[in-house]
Amino acid sequence: MIEHSLHDLGRALATREISSVELTQLHLERIARHNPRLNAYITIDEARSLAQARAADARLASGKGGPLTGIPIAHKDIFCAKGWRTTCGSKMLSNFVSPYDAAVIAGFEAAGAVVLGKTNMDEFAMGSSNETSFYGPVNNPWRAGCVPGGSSGGSAAAVAARLAPAATGTDTGGSIRQPAALCNLTGMKPTYGVVSRYGMIAFASSLDQAGPLARSAADCALLLNAMAGFDERDSTSLNRPAEDYCRELATTSGDKPLSGLKIGLPAEFFGEGCSPEVMALVEAAIAEYRKLGAETVAISLPSMKLSVAAYYVIAPAEASSNLARFDGVRYGHRASQYQDLNDMYSKSRAEGFGAEVKRRILIGTYVLSHGYYDAYYLQAQRIRRLIANDFAEAFRQCDVIMGPTSPSTAFKLGEKAADPVQMYLSDIYTIAVNLAGLPGISIPCGFSGGLPAGLQLIGDYFTETRLLNIAHRYQQASAWHLQRPDGFD
């Protein structure tokens, strides 16, 4: 069962080939056996998960089940889930039990899915390697001692090692797509506003977006059906007609299923900065797309070279504002000893936040301060507009943009920890997508030295269905996404 797709699991549950309780117990046993060496999960509540599974079985027995009813799903520990400890990978929230469900959690509950557990993550989603978590780093299932990517590294590691059939993540600058690439998964960041941010602990509000992590594009489409939708509680949620993201996924491909598709290849994605081994795998994947009938066109995204600099002004600025609420007064960590209110604020935040979070708060406060706002923050927002304009121009010439997801395969734990700039450059190919608010997806495209690499597909606004179909067509013609790491039988 651990190799079944979500569609196959849904059919097995519907025909009573297996019960939700059995399926959930199977994954709980795998977590107990393998999680100690991966550290992919922060919180497991076996009794609560099995109670949900029993309810799902009753729902299936009554004939009221849906495609996801009874399927256990792991959730990044950034989503509030009623009755579950929700830490956001931080000491600041180490004892916080959420009194309500995030919109994403509620969507899966409405679909009848089971909450399998809460997965490890970079603290407050700030990181590219899952090393900033208060609960320790996550190991990449493909090679011990290597990072799984971040900040959704726990979710990625759990799905890759078959400790969950699928998982949720969030993507602020590549935090779904980069872990997907490093763990041989499919991960999607939808158009900004397609998935509600209600109940998702904020890092950078104009960039954060929830999305699915799974083993295939077809599975991601099924997950996105449960996640997407308008939510009046989120002022950035877009009121659009409901969409079936599975509708273009054909079971047969034909000789040239992508005939007429124009793939844009940005010069900025294919120059220096990417390892030759990863680039060779990406180019081989694009060659396969040509065999499927697509044609490639050269395009340019000239402002993309400024995306990392703009991102690391805008994101810390928004983070410094969002994290001001963690003051030790209403919830979260409070220092045990202090002299007055200001001392309590200072000590609680100093003790509750890790080094990377403090670094970004300091940067954000600086760029928003009087005398620097115009020089840094305002300029970064102007660059953001230039980046969005570049994409708009590119999509006049092509249907989808392709290139590497990450400039390298998984690097060693600690390799970049002492050099924040090198760590930030891990997201060089993904950040521009968030700045522009576009949808993007990473799919497996091969291995270098035993470690997986990812191909990134970027679409115009609200083209998730098309992107998923384009990714699905490649996965019909390849088997990279079916590979799994050794040692997790």
Instruction: Give the residue numbers annotated as catalytic, written as ranges.
Output: 76, 151, 175
Helix (H) or strand (E) holding 433: helix 431-436
Q: Distance of CA 293 to CAs 114, 254, 287, Å?
A: 40, 10, 10
Token duo for residue 78 = 């950034």
Query: 165 with 73: CB under 8 angstroms?
Result: yes
CA distance 429 to 378: 23
User: Which 3 state secondary structure label does DSSP give 258?
Assistant: coil
How far CA 234 is from CA of 169, 231, 239, 441, 483, in Å, comes to 18, 6, 11, 24, 38
Question: Which strand ranges, in their side-by-side order, compose the sheet holding 186-189?
Answer: 41-43, 114-119, 72-76, 167-170, 210-214, 186-189, 440-448, 451-458, 400-404, 262-266, 295-299
364-383: b (≥16 Cβ within 10 Å) or e: bbebbeeeeeeebbebbeeb
> What is the spatial distance between Cα 190 and Cα 457, in angstroms, rounded to a whole number?
12
Residues in the chain: 489
User: Which amino acid is present at 242?
Assistant: A
Cα–Cα distance for residue pair 357/179, rounded to 1 Å: 20
SS3 call for 37: helix
- Return phi, psi of residue 429, to 5°: -95, -10
CB neighbour class for 255 (10 Å; exposed up to 12, middle 13-18, buried from 19) = exposed
Distance of CA 211 to the CA centre of its chain: 6
Give the relative orientation of helices 307-322 and 355-368 as an angle to the nearest 10 degrees: 100
What is the spatial distance between Cα 370 and Cα 282, in angstroms, rounded to a whole number? 45
- The SS3 of residue 365 is helix
Amino acid identity of residue 156, one-letter, is A
First to last CA, the chain: 12
Taking each helix axis from N to C end, the angle separating 20-38 and 6-14, rounded to the nearest 10 degrees, works out to 140
